[in-house]
A and B are shown apart, each in its own frame.
Chain A
Amino acid sequence: DAKTTQPTSMDCAEGRAANLPCNHSTISGNEYVYWYRQIHSQGPQYIIHGLKNNETNEMASLIITEDRKSSTLILPHATLRDTAVYYCIVVNTNAGKSTFGDGTTLTVKP
């Protein structure tokens, strides 16, 4: 499975957009990009996923570069409740396992 690289931590002002980058330069054609977040010590929560097209749902937007080597998760109007660890992972459509890295700790500040 492709490895992902994320910044260790980021800050964002409340009400502003939070843009969380992820590098997955070794991603292969049948691998999807998934994003999860973990608030405090709770179980991670699914946010969004995509293959090559940009995706949007009620929680966030996912922008994937044309070469698919990186992606950005966008929280359009961050709130204090969005403070969490955000994980970017790749999922192989032919494999049965996914590995998580250390993620990015996003702190939303008033």
Chain B
Amino acid sequence: NAGVTQTPKFQVLKTGQSMTLQCAQDMNHEYMSWYRQDPGMGLRLIHYSVGAGITDQGEVPNGYNVSRSTTEDFPLRLLSAAPSQTSVYFCASSYTRTVSNYGYTFGSGTRLTVV
């Protein structure tokens, strides 16, 4: 099925561990982004990419790295996990970096707990 696929769906990490959250889309979307959502809160932008090889920081980039080597994939790396990074992470994509008639397509999220 076409869409945005995030893996894993659930993850528990110990403080200090590193890991990569995967995001893949098969819609040939140019724009991809990562958001985090803390309990009872809205979404906050971590990093985004307007095309392969181009990434930029969002509102809350500290502690996270991204790369965009292909159009399809946009992995999010946690360098040294901290309890403050416990959150639900959503990946989103869009055909264009700006205005799209279909808005963003979101993945189903990765629920991360850091203990």
Mark A residues whose CB is within 8 Å of B.
32, 34, 36, 41-47, 49, 85, 87, 91-103
Contact = CB atoms under 8 A, between A and B. Distances in A.
Interface size class of B (residues with CB under 8 A): 20 to 34
Contact of A96 (B4, B88, B97, B107): B97
Given A32-B99, A36-B104, A42 B109 contact: yes
B45 A46 contact: no
B109 A46 contact: no
Contacts of A34: 103
Interface of B: 4, 31, 33, 35, 41-45, 48, 50, 56, 58-59, 88, 90, 92, 97-99, 101-109, 111
Nearest to A99: B45
Contacts of A44: 43, 90, 92, 104, 106
A43 B108 contact: yes
B56 A43 contact: no
Contact of B98 (A92, A100, A103): A92
Contacts of B101: 49
A103 B109 contact: no
B36 to A, nearest CB: 11
B98 A94 contact: yes
B58 A45 contact: no
Contacts of B90: 43-44
